[in-house]
Amino acid sequence: MSETLRENALLRDTHDPLAKLRGKFVLDEETVYLDGNSLGALPAHVPDRMADVITREWGRLRIRSWDESGWWTAPERIGDRIAPLVGAAPGRIVVSDSTSVNVFKAVVAATRLSTDDRDEILVDATTFPTDGYIAESAARMTGRRIVPVAPADLADAAGPRTAAALVNHVDFRTGRLHDLPGTTAALHAAGALAIWDLCHSAGALPVGLDEHGVDLAVGCTYKYLNGGPGSPAYLYVAERHQAAFDSPLPGWNSHADPFGMTPGYAAAEGAARGRVGTPDILSMLALESALDVWDGVAVEDVRAKSLALTDFFEECVAAYVPAGRVASLTPRAHSERGSQVALRCAEAPAVMAELIRRGVVGDLRRPDVLRFGFTPLYVGFADAERAARILAEVLAEIPAEAPAPQASEVRREAAPDLDS
């Protein structure tokens, strides 16, 4: 069986139209890197670009680079490069600050776009914790209350008191893909706004922000977009909301006349309203350079490979790993899957530590989830087969502490209670 799967993997890699992109990243053959959903690999050309930014633009041009090197326009320019990857037209995305800061801007702005009698903010009950923390703080500040709701129940939960809903497009623990078009339409039917967190979907699958009428969206750039550790996040504001978008963090960078230094605030036009203070230029320009790897790449092709990779990895796990040692948290249906596979394993901490020691780098979500992210730009089918084979070897050496639960039990237990 192992030889057949290995031969299958090599054949698939040979015919993979995206395989040539692997050479554009700094990788080593000794490591299977399956943690791009936490930190993307380094595009090989970025160090030379950053050397030029540091030595010439900062070192020699210094302050002149704000104009001559285009530093000032970087947040909107880079936003326009991200736009096609998430299905947005130019002028609707600004790159600025962190995801957390942008979540705060989006949630508060959404309540300001709503009416006072809409006093509820629905929050994805399985959300990444920071989104929940930020939403709760925004609710206290705006006199609203948080209502945690399972993503599948949002359509039924939205009503005349709902101002907005904050939802993760892909669940960070399980890799479950939530229904962005359907949920957005249901929220609009209830008179509410849709705010989507795209951290685990942008760069892995088509999003369709404009097509599906999303109101506001945020996302990071250091995962599937490979922008580097702590690279700046982005904020999407639908064109129909831009004139009324009222940021809770007005700064000199988002002023209509930023160098006028007037005491009164007047907001800039368009997505630039999402800017706040001076941009982090070094990280910003590293991200811009990293986005070069997307030139000529269709997100639809990336999605097709992502689904094929995750299918193949699950096939290899089923073939190699003894029954009962792991249970998949990730939906099998393509319409419900992001670009990762999460496996519930009672011995997960010890297993992941040993996997990393043997060159298979995934990550751990305590207490018992092994998480493997598949970045189609540089992960191949041989990587997936090797990772599953080594996982089986590690599990054969680490005694089972307790039987793994059934998948149905796993999925039922995956949602935290934000009220606790």
Catalytic residue among 128, 245, 313, 374: 128
User: Catalytic site residue 374?
Assistant: no
Catalytic residue among 24, 81, 92, 223: 223
User: Catalytic site residue 222?
Assistant: yes
Catalytic residue among 33, 104, 172, 222: 222
Catalytic residue among 80, 171, 197, 280: 197
Catalytic residue among 144, 371, 386, 389: 371
Distance separating the N- and C-terminal Cα atoms of the chain: 47
User: Catalytic site residue 210?
Assistant: no
Which amino acids are annotated catalytic? 128, 197, 222-223, 371
